[in-house]
């Protein structure tokens, strides 16, 4: 069984990810910063590190994240 991705609650539909938010040493140990757009599903996954951003109060908030499909669209630099 696959464990669910790391989940971050977001208050905005546009989020950024560099893969190193909580890593000592910062962005040098992460990946290039990408901007992601949360769509009508209420969540988006980072294509680099699989971190999942869930819109607070959106349709995916409070659901079992392991049951949702990967959505890694909308990435841009």
Q: Is residue 1 part of a domain?
A: no
Q: Domain range for residue 15?
A: 7-67
Residue 74: inside a domain, yes or no?
Answer: no
Q: Domain for residue 75, yes or no?
A: no
Residue 19 lies in a domain: yes
pTM of the model: 0.77
Write down the pLDDT at residue 66: 80
User: For residues 72 and 66, what is the distance between their CA atoms, to the nearest angstrom?
Assistant: 15
Residue 76's pLDDT is 44
In a domain, 2, yes or no: no
Q: How much is the pLDDT for 23? A: 57
**How much is the mean pLDDT over the chain?**
81
C-alpha to C-alpha distance for 6 and 20, rounded to whole angstroms? 12
pLDDT at 58 over 70: yes
SS3 assignment, position 29: helix
Order across the sheet with 43-45: list the strands.
Answer: 7-10, 52-55, 43-45
């Amino acid at each position: 069984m696959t464990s669910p991705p790391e989940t971050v609650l977001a208050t905005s539909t546009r989020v950024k990810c560099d893969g190193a938010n909580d890593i000592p040493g910062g962005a040098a140990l992460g990946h290039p910063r990408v901007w992601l757009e949360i769509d009508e599903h209420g969540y988006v996954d980072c294509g680099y590190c699989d971190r999942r951003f869930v819109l607070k109060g959106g349709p995916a908030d409070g659901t079992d994240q392991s049951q949702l499909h990967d959505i890694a669209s909308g990435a841009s630099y």
